[in-house]
Chains A and B, each alone.
Chain A
């Protein structure tokens, strides 16, 4: 059974600091996705990582994927308050050619001014 784990579950950090969120998954998967959720809102797509070694960057966020280690990271550079949200990673599970998306438990990020 595919398991997706994130850590930390909760992160409180000062503005201007750097930090990394980790996403581990238990079985081979083709792709990994990062989503952001603001309080009371739906999830919106941040990054799509499609191969080993893939790196994507948007503003102060950078995501990478190591399929051999079954690990993805979401690195935050010089955090600002607007990045406060919950971040989820998700993995495609390939079973007999079908796909479904399994999500991690989420990392709630709070950036303090």
Chain B
């Protein structure tokens, strides 16, 4: 199984400042035949189901604000919120879909400082 490790567990960022969340996989999730990283990011607000933000590591889902972006390759990935807004307070999860069982990171809680 591919283990996904997120860091930090939580972070507090001032409004308008940058938030950076890291996700590391225990093995590469880059499929060389199509040069795609099999990694997605989700946002979960309290009392709500997760919402897809990013897939293929950096492709933003329709409707996701462009202040949210994904980057990285192979085993190291980053979700960046360039200018934190109040509505971004949530828990963020990475997920690999390179192989089954699909696995999630443990989550990163983002709060306002």
A and B co-occur in one complex: no
Q: Which residues of B contact A (CB under 8 A)?
A: none
